[in-house]
A and B are shown apart, each in its own frame.
Chain A
Amino acid sequence: MTHENEPDPDGLSQQDRGLVDTIATHYRPKPMDRGRQLAFRRRLAARVAQDAQPAWRPALALAGVAAAVLLWFALLSGERTDTNESVAGGATDTSTLYAFVDPDSGDAERPQPEDFLPDDYTALASALDVPVDDL
């Protein structure tokens, strides 16, 4: 005959042992059948095999992506620099602009100041013998 509160080898009273046994019996997953066992093993084997792939493969793929991104940035910054240079040059150098508008035209064909002035001013300039540029 055992006393109700007599501790068992684990140091539990009989009532506590009852509680632990009830928890152990009712709080467990369904036993794995053969199908689930096989699925578990296959899934794990696939993950292990994937894990065993040479480390240089993902590294190589990453390096390729990095190179493509760097190239893209390099091309983009190159384009930006070219545009800035052409705008700056055009603003300061009129002859470059003329050459850009009409590459065939030389200095002789370029419009002269008298072409922009009214006829009266041109006549007055010639009468006074003053260079048109000084008007």
Chain B
Amino acid sequence: MEGTLSTDRSPDAHRETFEAFVESHRDRAVRLAFRLVRGDEAAAEDVAQNAFLRAYRSLADFRGDARLDTWFYRILVREAHRHRRWQTVRRLWTVAADDAPEPVDERPEPDVWLRKRIAAALERLTATQRETFVLVHLEGFSVSETAAIVGKASGTVKSHLHRALARLREDLADLRNPTRATEGAQEVSDDT
């Protein structure tokens, strides 16, 4: 089932394949989307839904050249791209609203503080650096699978990975030692 498509091309067979696929990939799809859309949970679910729907529409055209999951995650990464573009346009149109100060979080959880830092560091990467880093290091795809998903050569993916990691090392130097990272988060929590 995983990565393959039933040879029976009847609508019922497609629906069954699709439902099973959604069930086994839902959590990973939402998590990947979350990491690509600035850590917004609601947006991540929307992106995953849209990706599943697009995949369902094109399921009949899936030729089996690639693995089904690689093909799907390619759709999802594009959907995340589309969402980010749309968010950028929306932000441009509502500049005045965005200028308003963010509500102050009186007692930020250590986890929230860390998440915001990580989100900000990932935002400073280029789109391809972010995508390759998330796919390879956070989601466990191989370099060749990632190359198929983002539509680049394996060598290009490696180069983006190298640059992404170098940049994150600088931005999140204190997190390279997990014990220190937790202590830092705890200090923030204690200060507030």
A interface residues (Cβ-Cβ under 8 A, vs B): 10, 12, 15-16, 18-24, 26-32, 37, 40-41, 43-44, 47-48, 51
Contacts and interface: CB of A to CB of B under 8 A. Distances in A.
B30 A29 contact: yes
Interface stretch (B52-60, B75-83, B145-153): B52-60
Interface stretch (B61-69, B86-94, B99-107, B111-119): B111-119
Q: DSSP majority for the B interface?
A: helix
B39 A27 contact: yes
Nearest to B35: A27
Contact of A20 (B26, B35, B56, B137): B137
Contact of A22 (B18, B136, B178): B178
B121 to A, nearest CB: 8
A27 B48 CA distance: 17
Contacts of B52: 44
Nearest to A26: B114
B74 to A, nearest CB: 19
Given A15-B176, A23-B118, 15 more contacts: A10-B137, A16-B176, A18-B178, A22-B172, A24-B137, A26-B114, A26-B115, A27-B35, A27-B115, A28-B31, A31-B27, A40-B26, A40-B30, A44-B53, A48-B53
Given A16-B176, A19-B176, A27 B41 contact: no
Contact of A19 (B15, B45, B175): B175
B53 A26 contact: no
Provide the main secondary structure of the chain A interface. Answer: helix
Contacts of B136: 10
Contacts of A32: 26-27, 30
B26 A37 contact: yes
Given A15-B177, A16-B169, A20-B137, A47 B115 contact: no
Interface string B17-58: 010001000110011001100010100110011001100110
A83 to B, nearest CB: 46
11 contacts: A18-B178, A19-B176, A22-B172, A22-B178, A23-B168, A23-B175, A40-B26, A40-B48, A48-B15, A48-B18, A51-B56
B13 interface: no
A15 B176 CA distance: 5
B41 A29 contact: yes
A16 B60 CA distance: 42
B118 A26 contact: yes
Contacts of B49: 40, 43-44, 47
B178 A21 contact: yes
Which has the most chain A C-beta neighbours within 10 Å: B22, B114, B175?
A: B175
A28 B169 contact: no
Nearest to A24: B138
